[in-house]
Amino acid sequence: MKVSVFSAKRYDREYLDAANRSAGHQLKYFEDPLDLDTVALAAGAEAVCIFVNDKANAAVLEQLKAGGTRLIALRCTGFNNVDLQAAASLGLKVVRVTDYSPYSVAEHAVALLLAINRKIHRAYNRTRDSNFALDGLMGFDLHGKTVAVIGTGKIGRVFAKIMVGFGCNLIGYDKFPSPEFEALGGHYAVPGEIGKDADIVSLHCPLTPETHHIVNAETLSRAKRGALLINTSRGGLVDTEAAIEALKNGQLGGLALDVYEQESDLFFRDLSNTIVTDDVFQRLISFPNVIVTGHQAFFTQEAVRTISETTLQSVSEFASGRPLTNEIKAP
């Protein structure tokens, strides 16, 4: 099949080409993201392969359909950037990567937690300037602290297991409780418990209308003062303006993000020679107790290999008329 691959970086080409040696599809790469301005590039492609910040709204999907596209293949787990209702009405199939290394994201969440708690980012900059003073670098023991895991799917459970290794207490929140999470010693929170008890809150849930801004001014006001917040899931889970206010008044003790709700204009590109005009983002990174990484939590060899292989497996299933193992359907 002819496949147009959008938002394609060097590493995407490397791993997709390796996975395609046995699949034999015609892959055409575009570094540009998919949107209304670039959708014409996909004309004649039976499938398009997109990533987290590509836009597959109704208008884009209509043009894809008109150009001959029949399959939308997401090389990621989240699908909030695809209008599933529009895709269904147009007869377009949508697939995603439902399972890649959960360790990649969970381990990055732990790395962010350790860094923001022990001020690793500040210490790194100080020592490069031959400043070895310890003032302002004090953290706290993770042992004995309470960690709230919001979303106890595969990634959340791996994160929880690591936290158990540190000697932490676990509380969870999920619409679908997990016996595996409870087997780790965790229990699901009753109303008000997370805000009262959690020293650390880590987000591992998908972005849906229900979870949009699940962290907001109200929930932050009820949080334990000085708590740390980690988000490696989706930027829209956190109301950034509210988080900034909580940082300013000390309600949040620290914030570590791998995702940002307006990241599509920033992440996955080199802007070091330009002026970043996102004032909210600039305010965010001005805080000494904030760490931001550019949506790299998934970025391990094992995860990218699995993502590439799973994506092309879905394309092959579609090409041969087989059932789509990883199809997403409109609710």
Q: Is 234 a catalytic residue?
A: yes
Q: CB within 8 A of 329, min separation 6: which ones?
A: 84, 88, 94
> How many C-alpha atoms does 151 have within 13 Å on its Cβ side?
23
For residue 315 the two structure tokens come to 């394309």
* CA separation for the pair 179, 176 (Å, rounded): 10
The single residue of 107, 261, 263, 309 carrying the catalytic annotation is: 263
Residue with tokens 């939590």: 297
The single residue of 234, 261, 309, 317 carrying the catalytic annotation is: 234
Residue with tokens 């060097």: 10
For residue 22 the two structure tokens come to 């046995």
The single residue of 96, 295, 309, 317 carrying the catalytic annotation is: 295
User: CB–CB of 104/297 below 8 Å?
Assistant: yes
User: CB–CB of 90/60 below 8 Å?
Assistant: no
Q: Is 180 a catalytic residue?
A: no
> How many C-alpha atoms does 221 have within 13 Å on its Cβ side?
4
* CA separation for the pair 218, 61 (Å, rounded): 37
User: CB–CB of 203/237 below 8 Å?
Assistant: yes
> What burial class does residue 331 get, using C-beta atoms within 10 Å of its C-beta: 0-12 exposed, 13-18 middle, 19+ buried?
exposed
Q: Is 317 a catalytic residue?
A: no
Q: Strand pairing partners for 147? A: 170, 200
* CA separation for the pair 120, 181 (Å, rounded): 30
* DSSP element (H, E) containing 177: none
Give the residue numbers marked as catalytic: 234, 263, 295
